[in-house]
Amino acid sequence: MTTLVEQVKDAVKDAMRSKAKERLAALRLITAEFKRVEVDERVEVDDARALAILDKMSKQRRDSIAQYMDAGREELAAVEQFEIDVISEFLPAALSEEELNQLIADAIAQSGAASMQDMGNVMGVLRPQVQGRADMALVSRLVKAQLG
């Protein structure tokens, strides 16, 4: 089974062969971020770290889209949306809200959480399970709702 980093590198090669300039640019952003993390932190990017990086990149672009739309810059928002689409090809399938609620209930039971003070413990159990598969802001809201 190939790693996420290898899948991105293969996609870069395919985009170069097919002369898909916009797709190639978005893929190069991903590889540049992987390389930046490897150099800055002196680590090899594994699948878990790659998922965290892709999740962060996707969140940054969603924030940018909101700002561009507020400023009336639809063309820039479209570029960011295209990048999100490319990034999401490498993320696992998103969890439904029902699946999230079940995972949260399991995490609460596993951590023995009883109040909002235990939210950090619940999030610690949940994060590896939902990384790249759900928006962490939504996860946080759902955890608060179940603990609150």
Co-location of 70 and 142 in the same domain: no
- pLDDT tens digits, one per residue of 65-106: 999 999 999 999 999 999 999 999 998 888 888 999 899 999
Q: What is the mean pLDDT of the chain?
A: 91
**Mean pLDDT value of segment 11-21:** 96
Candidates 111, 125, 119; CA nearest to 142 is: 119
Specify the CATH number for the domain of residue 38. 1.10.1510.10
Residue 44 has pLDDT above 80, yes or no: yes
Residue matched to tokens 């990086």: 53
Co-location of 14 and 80 in the same domain: yes
Higher pLDDT, 131 or 108: 108
Q: Which domain holds residue 119?
A: 97-147
Last residue within a domain, chosen from 38, 62, 88 = 88
Spatial contact of 48 and 128, defined as CB atoms under 8 Å apart: yes
Co-location of 83 and 136 in the same domain: no
pLDDT-based confidence at residue 1 (cuts at 50, 70, 90): low
**Mean pLDDT value of segment 16-36:** 96
3-state DSSP assignment of residue 116 = helix
Co-location of 118 and 64 in the same domain: no
Domain count, the chain: 2
Which amino acid would we find at residue 18? S
DSSP string, 100-123: HHHHHHHHHHHHT--SGGGHHHHH
Co-location of 54 and 112 in the same domain: no
Last residue within a domain, chosen from 37, 69, 88 = 88
pLDDT-based confidence at residue 111 (cuts at 50, 70, 90): confident
DSSP string, 44-94: ---HHHHHHHHHHHHHHHHHHHHHHHHTT-HHHHHHHHHHHHHHHTTSPPP
pTM: 0.79
